[in-house]
Amino acid sequence: MKLFKIWILPSLVFGCILFFWQFLSFAALNLHENAQQYTPLQDSICKVLQTFNLKEGGYMLPQPQPGLSPEAWESQNAILSQNPWIRMNYYTSRNVSMIKPLLLGFLSDLILGIIILWILHQCAKESKLKHILISTVIGIIAFIYIPLTNHIWFPSFDIWAYAIDAIIPFAAIGLVYSAFKIKT
């Protein structure tokens, strides 16, 4: 019973908070809309891309071809830098099944919930405000390390949505932890 009360139940609650927030952020509130915009040209663009028989993968266009000397690379890069550019992920088909992504998403949120719970248990004697701050700082660390660092190099249109994603659910976890003051 103690294992359930100290670890299992709080981890499930934390995982559910993260999972539910992701649903709100990406679907219900659509905070990431700027990075997933619709274009009426989508069918034409996809048809043109299919004609190239690209292999699945991530592409950044344009860029200098591999194997150039440093001087040739810099020269070609200077010319290319005056053009529009694209970062894209190309897939040969779209899997619309939601089961596997939902299960894997919840599993990753559950694991993150366990990690956050472990960290908060290490600080169990701290104040309620500190629990909220510690949990929020975990979200901010995750934000700075991946979305913000990527944004610095490859500007993303939904960076503020990721910032909100890093604060609200993590602060909620700290609030829940402090409200119930789970004793280890």
| C-beta neighbour count of 176 within 10 angstroms | 18
| pLDDT for position 5 | 84
Find the helix packing angle between 159-180 and 99-122, rounded to 10°: 50
**CB contact at 8 A, 15 and 110:** yes
Which residue shows structure tokens 């949120």? Answer: 109
| pLDDT for position 182 | 61
The structure tokens listed for 155 are 């500007």
Provide the CB-side half-sphere exposure for 125 (13 A, CA).
Answer: 0
| pLDDT for position 15 | 95
| pLDDT for position 93 | 87
Q: Which residues of the chain have pLDDT under 50?
A: none
Contacts of 127 (CB under 8 A, 6+ apart): 178
Largest CA distance in the chain: 68
Q: How far apart are CA 13 and CA 9, in angstroms?
A: 6
pTM of the model: 0.86
| pLDDT for position 28 | 96
